[in-house]
Structure 1
Amino acid sequence: MGYGKDEHEKALQDVPLFVADPVSWPKGVRVIGNDELDNLGIDRSGVLHWNGRVITVDKRITFSFWQNVSAAVVTVTAGLVSLSTIVQGVASYSSWACTVGWPAICP
């Protein structure tokens, strides 16, 4: 399934082509030449390979102590809010169910 000319032009307007700036690259890194593109491949699973080896990107995100504490506080708070909502729902159901004679824990 490909783009028509109009869809392709609209896609380029929405997300323009990225033009690399090799001047800002680390020392020893260069642009791939056209003759080297045969080294780039993809398998049936969509995994990208360079010269037969899998290309991997390893990004590990580490959080500071305070970011971890904040995440824990937010998680505990969300859990308590969820629990209180469930308790409030059960209490509301019981109050209403008692008035209409449905099964409930009535005082």
Structure 2
Amino acid sequence: MTARPGRGTVVPGRGENLRADHEALLQVVIAAERSGSSVPCRDGSLTVTAAWTATDTKTQAAAARECSRCPVLAECHTYARLHSQELGVLGGTTEADRRREAS
């Protein structure tokens, strides 16, 4: 699979293989960064990056808003949904958002 940001096709295994899907997502992220795009959760600042793994809802909400400008938002959201990621902010969704989507 060729990693191309913004295509929404990052999950080759359709949720069947967490490791392969994580690697595919990472490759899309790297491709976006190499093309000059900024991926908010990987800006290099420990303070900012920690927001995506925060446990408080206010910080999670702020991080999720930052996702709106991410070039790999669709792929990250797909990954989080297919693998029932429970912790942190992924694909513009908080833990509470994903729980609501699942129900």
TM-score bin (small chain) = under 0.3
TM-score normalised according to structure 2 size: 0.21
More strand by share: 1
